[in-house]
Amino acid sequence: MKIHITRPYKNNNNNLGGLWKATQDISEAITQIGGHEIGLYQYQSDETFEQLQPRMDGIIAGIERGDVLIIQYAEWLNSRTFHEALLTKAKAYGATVIMWIHDVDCYLTGQELATTRVDYFNRFDAIVAHTEPMKKMLIRDGVTTKIVTLGIFDYLTEAKYVEPTFSKEITLVTGSPNKSGFVNKWNSKYQLNVYAPNRAVPYEFENRKNVVYKGQVASNLIPFEIHSGFGIVWFENEEQTIKAWLPNGKPAVILGDLGEDYSKINAAHKISSYFAAGIPLIVKSNLAQAEMIKKNDLGLIVDSIEDIDDVLSKVTAEDYSRMTSSVHSIHDLVTNGFFTIRAVDRALQALMVEGGEF
């Protein structure tokens, strides 16, 4: 029995963003334990299900009956037709197929999983979901496939742990700060450093007090760039049209609320980027990982942006040292693929419990 893992690639090889680093890190962690990578480029084409079949034969030619195929899933990675064709062909080859969720698009905008998507999810032998709340939501919507959870994403890097400098400055690394409404309303006495792409469009926060635009930093360089203060992971529901950029560089417009509700079930990849940099976090109390962060002394939990000044003012150098010591421990886990490998083991164990043997 061999394990195969799909690894998505952008057609232009511009894999700066966290979306792509997450998929690459999962693939690399699994290959480190003997898995076999299957490279997938984006095929956002008009090819029909039938037309895709020859392509599928080439993609999974190395799979044999009894092997395990892990498909990294998000609708922005490839078309629905492509995903359907890949699953169908893998099943025809006799593979056990595991879905590894990156995003569930309908949950981003507060909708339920459509019946057609439920049927598709239920064709997998197992699913790796982000968190227990996401697992419960999938079950609520009718998914009956065995589901295990990831917890948090890994963040592979060759950067060694560096003891961070005590500071009350806060760092935000984001692909689009205009989706983070708190930045444009920042009134804290503590400096907020923003790393974001320069899209030749002025950001609203540029003239705000204590907000410093630091330019863009590639995802793989974050652990080498940031060595002080706190990283912030913060989502708010935006009551307006939200503009975003897809990985293929095309703009997308999402209508309605987006952000805070999804963060209650989502494992924010940005959390792991800050842990890889060795710094503690500031997060909202309803974030899916807030309890884990609090329990393990990995940062500060606050209810609102307005509370940050009060909470930070009470943090001493000793407090910061204690938190960074805790972060050091999880840094060594996320930078070496621990959570990915654990999730694979959980999925395989779940399948064996159901009666299968590998």
Answer whether 81's CB lies under 8 Å from 49's CB: yes
Contact yes or no for 299/230 (Cβ under 8 A): yes
CA-CA distance, 212 to 208, in Å (whole number)? Answer: 8
Report the topology of domain 165-334: Rossmann fold (3.40.50)
Q: Where in the chain is the domain with CATH 3.40.50.2000?
A: 3-154+337-353, 165-334
Biggest CA-to-CA distance, the chain: 63
pLDDT of residue 358: 46
pLDDT reported for residue 354:
58
Residue 114, both tokens: 């459509």
Q: Whole-prediction pTM value?
A: 0.89
Residue 110 DSSP symbol: T
CATH homologous superfamily of 3-154+337-353: Glycogen Phosphorylase B; (3.40.50.2000)
pLDDT of residue 251: 43
Q: What is the mean pLDDT of each run of 10 residues along the chain (358 residues)?
A: 89 59 95 93 74 86 94 83 91 96 84 88 97 96 97 95 96 80 88 82 72 89 95 74 42 49 91 97 95 97 95 97 97 97 97 62
